[in-house]
Structure 1
Amino acid sequence: MQVHQTPTLLLTRPRPASERFAKGLDGANVVIAPLMEIVGTGAEITLGGVAGLILTSEAVVPFLPPTTLPAFCVGPRTAAAARAVGLQAEVAGADAEGLIQTLADRRPDGRLLHLHGTHTRGDIVGRLCDLGLHATGLAVYDQRELAPGPAFHDALTRPDLIVPLFSPRSAKLFAHAAQGLRADTKIIALSQAVADALPHAMGAHAMIAPAPTGDAMGEMMASLGVKRNSP
């Protein structure tokens, strides 16, 4: 008779994000082993002459100065975090492509300031400028790499390991740290761009969420038996 093996869910995002994502999950042994942390760059954010902000991650919100400027956000969580500190925030897209399309259609007047991390993809500012919009960017936080600890290495030895990866940066750090990955490990990528950041052997077998959202990632995990309890 086959004995059911409870899967292990390995979360490698910064600890606050990992703890939030893990809350209410059922059906897996959750291991939080961050491979990066969010730290400020010390960059001064000057909002004079800025008509609106572009926010592609909620990680930027703690570094914002007080303001009620409009904010064009990627994803509902980023928008909610921005509203909580007083911005007129709206969801302008589920990902960078959606954001650019929204801004191209709306064509807001004035300078748009994209506040982001030191590791970015998609050249949002450059593409908006090519579309005739006035956009500039500023890196206000860094996703600083953390060395994998004992909890991370122990998780890699467990059968039925599930690893959700939420960004190309997370994917690269995981691939670098995960030596000798078991063949039965299941990797869930938030998007094709995340899967593409993995080595071919890993990325070719990654499951890709149908949409670049936390809810879609949750649906993928539910298909593997890891579900979120209702509040």
Structure 2
Amino acid sequence: MLLTRPEAASRRCAAEIAARFGEDLPVLIAPLMEIVALPAEIPPAREVIFTSQNAVAPFVARSPAAGRRAYCVGGKTAAAARRAGFETLEGQGDARGLLPLIRAQHRGGGLVHARGEEVAVPLADLLNSAEIETKEVVVYRQQACALEPAIRAQLARAGLVVAPLFSPRSADRLVQELGDWRGRIWVAAISATVAERAGPLRPERLEVAERPDLRGVLEALTRLIGPAKAG
């Protein structure tokens, strides 16, 4: 099992995988990105949007959570925001799915979308088009990390690599790092877009999560490796 998310996220994922599939499943943590906080200037707003838990800590480091409400893309992000001191409203795991929630619950005034440098859904544009004033602030970047030679050697020795992929960026990075690798690989993709971006890896088997969150990816992994482990 190859986990390529940033270190902390990969370790949380590894714990979930061990709980579901057992401790004997070999897991290799090899982050292809790390989270780097950026010195952003935070606009004043009573309500904040988080489409990634990675945005919470760098936001709070520059602007307090007290007295603010946060619209959060899913459970993990909402939990991080609550720990930071926000009142939270939780979406279903997809940025576009936050739109009806915000429309229904918005109390008036401007919103701030705290995000990374890259974003899959232009949420601020969509909200502004709906006449809900929303500003964006980029509070972190995902900085690329290369696969170490020792990791490459382990992958080369593996008979099969199973790769859960949680974002288009993750898929792109894995393609970049394994572009000349022709071993067997199975992919569990968080969305159809991620599955498409993983195409150059030529996965032998591919499962797409039915819901765009960790639980959905774990269920996709179960469809991939459940029968194999049972055998």
Q: Could you say which TM-score interval applies, normalised by the shorter chain?
A: 0.7 to 0.9
- State whether residues 207 and 223 of structure 2, in contact with CA within 8 Å, keep that contact through their aligned partners in structure 1: no
- CA gap of 1:225–1:199, structure 2 versus 1, over 3 A, is closer
Q: How do 1:191-202 and structure 2 match up within 5 A?
A: 191-199=191-199, 202=202
Which one has the bigger helix percentage? 2
Cα RMSD, aligned residues only: 2.2
Q: Scaled by the length of structure 2, what TM-score is found?
A: 0.86
Q: How do 1:85-100 and structure 2 match up within 5 A?
A: 85-100=84-99
- State whether residues 168 and 194 of structure 2, in contact with CA within 8 Å, keep that contact through their aligned partners in structure 1: yes
Identity %: 32
Q: Scaled by the length of structure 1, what TM-score is found?
A: 0.86
Name the amino acid aligned to 2:173.
Answer: L
Q: How do 1:1-231 and structure 2 match up within 5 A?
A: 9-23=1-15, 25=18, 26=22, 27-46=24-43, 48=44, 50-63=45-58, 64=60, 65-68=63-66, 69-157=68-156, 158-182=158-182, 184-199=184-199, 202=202, 206-225=206-225
- Aligned counterparts of 2:197 and 2:131: Cα–Cα separation in 1: 30
Name the amino acid aligned to 1:186.
Answer: W
Higher relative contact order (CA 8 A, sep 6+): 1
- State whether residues 159 and 183 of structure 2, in contact with CA within 8 Å, keep that contact through their aligned partners in structure 1: no
Which one has the bigger strand percentage? 1
Count of matched residue pairs? 217
Where in structure 2 are there 5+ consecutive unaligned residues? Answer: 227-231
- CA gap of 1:93–1:83, structure 2 versus 1, over 3 A, is same
